[in-house]
Amino acid sequence: MKLSTKQINSINYTASGVIEKASIDEKIKEIAVKASKNIEIKGFRKGKVPLNVVLDRYKDSLTKDSEQELIGIAYKEAIKEIGKDEKDLIGEPVFKKFNRNDNGIEVEFLISFRPTINLDGYEKLIPEVKVEEIKDKDLKARKEAMLKQYAPLEKTKKQILKKGDYAKFDFEGFLDGVAFEGGKANDYMLEIGSNQFIPGFEDSMIDMKVGEEKDINVTFPENYQAANLAGKEVVFKIKLHEIHGKKIPEINEELLKKLLPNEEKVSEELLDEKIKEQMQNEAKFKLIDEKLKIEFVDKMLEKYDFELPQNILEQETNLQLNQAARTFTKEQLEELKDDKKLEEKRKEFEVEAAKSVKLTFIVDELARLRNVIVNDQEVAQAIYFEAMRYGVEPKKLMENYQQNGTIPAIRMSLLEEKLFADIFLGKDK
């Protein structure tokens, strides 16, 4: 096997050469001899099938197996010639050329290794987590909302329904003029503005008068669980009977014990303190997710530079291009049949793909430096909660993710979440 390697940069290499026809034929015969000992063919005893019969009947599969084995040997020889450790390999080789001819197979493939990353001084780039003091009016509003949860619903004298009111009403849904199953209820109680119903339903009820009947036109979400209704426009006929509300209850020791179940000594001051603490944490997480994390990532991408494995970069570029292609027009897709146009489009996506790949390696290195890991149990737990949220069987969802190769992406997502909590919150996470 004639093979030569060429260095692109510190972690990317190409290997090219020819897998001679004689080597392929010899490997086919070698595999066929081994196979003939176990193959059962009618008219022959097991282990006594003539070699020429095996070669003739299983020619295609034997050729394929021999080529794969020889490619594997070529891959190992290339790594040996490059002089790097196999444990530093990353991803699969990417074939740039694979041409069969009378002399054998001309091959050229890309080999990539894990980059060396030095993130010295990254701590200086971590922005300070500083949130504004919780205002008294906001604390009061949150406290009233909590107290309302323990207040009974009471019929009011209001005649016009507003956001925040509770509507007692009848409804029935119709698809193309026909009532559909599960779309009817009488004396149903709904908090307007709670978003319990499909988008548009509750907003359309605002300003209805007690006793009023109304037709509401809404569209079910595309991902609605009932397939016969997903994405469909329907009409709900409704009648408002009563308007209910909740009166903020007086604070007493009994109510405080319900609101502070883990505290030995309860007081309204302690309740205010706990509510304020909760609101500060919420503000902190919001600030991290919406601003600080983005700032930190941008600074890291700008400050630290290293070679990227080209096979991983190509894979990510193709992934982003394929995802975007789902939104392309017919004319745009037709243009991509031209190799030159396709390559130009790939170049457009390569910039963002490079950022994504670079960030993945940075996150991986930061997690190593800070000893942040995600174990199999955490992955399984995340999938379990997702299954419960969507009402599917956890085992089936896990199997589906395993078959689709989605598990690594889930693990990376969990790792990022734990890592940024560790970076920004430390012991407070």
Write out pLDDT tens, residues 86-114. Answer: 999 998 899 999 999 988 999 999 999 99
What Rg value do the Cα atoms of the chain yield, rounded? 32
Write out pLDDT tens, residues 370-395. Answer: 999 999 999 999 999 988 888 889 99
Query: In angstroms, rounded to a whole number, what is the distance separating the alpha carbons of residues 335 and 341?
Result: 7
Write out pLDDT tens, residues 329-370. Answer: 888 888 888 888 888 888 989 999 999 999 999 999 999 999
DSSP 193: T
DSSP 136: H
Chain centre distance of CA 122 = 27
In the predicted structure, residue 223 carries a pLDDT above the cut 90: no
Write out pLDDT tens, residues 113-165. Answer: 999 999 999 999 999 999 999 999 999 999 998 998 888 899 999 999 999 99
Write out pLDDT tens, residues 389-428. Answer: 888 899 999 999 999 888 998 999 999 999 999 999 874 4
In the predicted structure, residue 429 carries a pLDDT above the cut 60: no
At 265 the pLDDT is 93
Name the CATH superfamily for 2-112.
Trigger factor ribosome-binding domain (3.30.70.1050)
Write out pLDDT tens, residues 40-89. Answer: 777 777 777 788 888 888 888 999 999 999 999 999 999 999 999 999 99
In the predicted structure, residue 323 carries a pLDDT above the cut 70: yes
Query: In angstroms, rounded to a whole number, what is the distance separating the alpha carbons of residues 401 and 123?
Result: 35
2-112 with 152-246: one CATH topology?
no
As a whole number, the mean pLDDT across the chain is: 91
Residue 146's CB: how many other CB atoms inside 10 A?
A: 15
Q: Report domain extents, the chain.
A: 2-112, 152-246, 268-428
Write out pLDDT tens, residues 242-296. Answer: 999 988 888 999 999 989 998 989 999 999 999 999 999 999 999 999 999 999 9
- The third-level CATH classification (topology) of the domain covering 268-428 is Trigger factor, domain 2 (1.10.3120)
pLDDT > 70: what percent of the chain?
A: 99
**CATH architecture of residue range(s) 152-246:** Roll (3.10)
At 118 the pLDDT is 96
Give the pLDDT mean for 304-331.
Answer: 91
Nearest to 207 by CA among 155, 165, 173, 236: 165
Q: Terminal CA-to-CA distance of the chain, rounded, Å?
A: 57
Residue type (1 letter), 277: E
Q: What are phi and psi of 44, to 5 degrees?
A: -130, 150
- Tokens 């040997």 locate to 73
